[in-house]
C-alpha cells in the first residue's frame, strides 16, 4: 500500500474509467472487432500497432474517448487499405462506435460500498478525462453520480489541470487525495502539485498510459478499492491521536 501522509485530508477525488467502472475492456473488444474487419488486408499485429500509432498521433487533434478512437479507426482503415476500404466497412466501424457508447456501465467491485463509507466524511469528487458528453452519460447511468460533491471532465490530466481544479474548488493541495488506475494520469501529476495519490491498478492498461517498470516500482499499489476505507480509518485514528496528544 502506498504511504499517504496524515495532514488534514478533506477531499478525495476518483478517476472514473477503470477506477469506478470498467472501460478499457470495451476498447479492447472494439479493437479486436476492428482488427477482424481489416484482417483481409493485413495481419493482426500490424493492424494493432498501426492503430495505436494513429491514436497517439491524433490525441492532440481529437483528445481522449470513443469519438477520437473512432476517427483513428477510420483513418487507420483508409491508410492500411490504401483507400480501398468500402463504405460498408466504414459503416461497420461507426456502428462499432455506437455500440461502445451504449455499453452498460459496470461498476467495479466494492465501489458503491466504499463511496457510502466515505460520503459525509470527505468532499468526494470525480476527475476524469475524455469526451464530455460520453463521460456525463456514463456518470448519469452509473447510479453513483449523486454521491459526488463535484465532477470535473478535463481534456487531459496534467499538473496544470489539477492545479486549476484545486484553485477553482478552493482545495489546498495537501488536503487532496486522488485515487486512480493510471500512474501517468492520476498519480504523478497530483504529486507534482503537492497533493496525495493512491494507485489502484486495473488488469489492463492502454499502452499510452504505461510507465517504465522502475517508475512503477517507486509507487506501491493499493490492492483493491475496498482497501481505501481501511486506509481512511487509519488516517482518522492517527489524526485523532495526534489531536489528543496536543491537549
Instruction: For residue 35, give Cα distances in angstroms to 25, 43, 67, 71.
Output: 15, 8, 18, 15
Q: Which of 44, 76, 101 is the last residue of a domain?
A: 101
Adjacent-strand bridge partners of 17: 21
| Residue that is last in its domain, among 101, 135, 167 | 101
Answer whether residue 3 is part of any domain: no
136 and 225 assigned to the same domain: yes
Which of these, 35, 32, 72, lies nearest to 208 by C-alpha position? 72
- Would 177 be classed as within a structural domain? yes
Residue 219 and residue 199 in contact, taking contact as beta carbons nearer than 8 Å: yes
Asked whether the predicted pLDDT for residue 208 surpasses 50, the reply is no
CA distance 100 to 98: 5
In this structure, is residue 150 part of a structural domain?
A: yes
C-alpha cell at 87: 463504405
pTM: 0.82
Answer whether residue 233 shows pLDDT above 70.
no
| pLDDT reading at 214 higher than 60 | no
Q: What is the pLDDT of residue 236?
A: 58
Q: Which residues, in sequence order, are CB contacts of 54 under 8 Å at separation 6+?
A: 72, 75, 76, 79
Q: Could you give the number of structural domains in the chain? A: 2
The model's pLDDT over 41-83, given as tens digits with 9 standing for 90+, comes to 999 999 999 999 999 999 889 988 899 999 999 999 999 999 9
Structural domain ending residue among the three candidates 71, 86, 101: 101
Residue 67 neighbours by CB under 8 Å, 6+ apart: 97, 131, 134
In which element (H, E) is residue 128 found? strand 123-129
pLDDT band at 201 (very low <50, low <70, confident <90, very high): confident
Domain assignment present for residue 5? The answer is: no
User: In the chain, what percentage of residues exceed pLDDT 70?
Assistant: 81
Give the domain CATH number at 143: 3.40.50.1000
User: Which is it for the CA torsion 65, 70, 71, 75, positive or negative?
Assistant: positive
**What CATH number corresponds to the domain at position 33?**
1.10.150.240
CA–CA gap between residue 118 and residue 149 (Å, rounded) = 12
- CA gap 134, 86 in Å, rounded: 28
Amino acid at each position: 500500500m502506498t504511504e499517504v501522509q496524515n495532514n488534514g485530508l478533506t477531499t478525495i477525488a476518483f478517476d472514473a474509467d477503470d477506477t469506478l467502472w470498467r472501460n478499457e475492456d470495451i476498447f479492447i473488444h472494439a479493437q479486436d472487432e476492428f482488427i477482424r474487419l481489416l484482417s483481409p488486408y493485413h495481419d493482426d499485429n500490424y493492424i494493432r500497432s498501426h492503430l495505436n500509432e494513429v491514436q497517439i498521433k491524433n490525441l492532440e487533434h481529437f483528445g481522449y474517448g470513443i469519438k477520437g478512437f473512432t476517427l483513428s479507426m477510420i483513418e487507420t482503415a483508409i491508410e492500411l487499405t490504401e483507400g480501398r476500404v468500402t463504405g460498408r466497412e466504414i459503416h461497420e466501424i461507426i456502428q462499432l462506435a455506437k455500440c461502445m457508447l451504449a455499453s452498460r456501465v459496470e461498476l467495479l467491485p466494492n465501489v458503491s460500498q466504499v463511496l457510502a463509507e466515505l460520503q459525509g466524511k470527505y468532499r468526494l469528487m470525480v476527475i476524469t478525462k475524455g469526451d464530455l458528453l460520453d463521460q456525463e452519460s456514463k456518470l448519469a447511468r452509473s447510479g453513483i453520480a449523486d454521491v459526488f460533491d463535484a465532477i470535473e471532465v478535463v481534456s487531459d490530466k496534467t499538473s496544470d489541470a489539477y492545479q486549476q481544479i484545486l484553485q477553482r474548488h478552493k482545495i489546498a493541495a495537501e488536503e487532496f487525495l486522488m485515487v486512480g488506475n493510471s500512474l501517468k494520469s492520476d498519480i504523478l501529476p497530483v504529486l507534482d502539485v503537492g497533493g496525495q495519490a493512491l494507485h489502484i491498478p486495473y488488469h489492463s492498461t492502454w499502452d499510452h498510459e504505461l510507465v517504465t517498470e522502475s517508475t512503477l516500482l517507486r509507487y506501491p499499489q493499493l490492492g483493491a478499492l475496498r482497501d481505501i476505507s481501511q486506509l481512511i480509518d487509519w488516517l482518522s485514528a492517527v489524526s485523532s491521536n495526534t489531536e489528543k496528544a496536543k491537549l
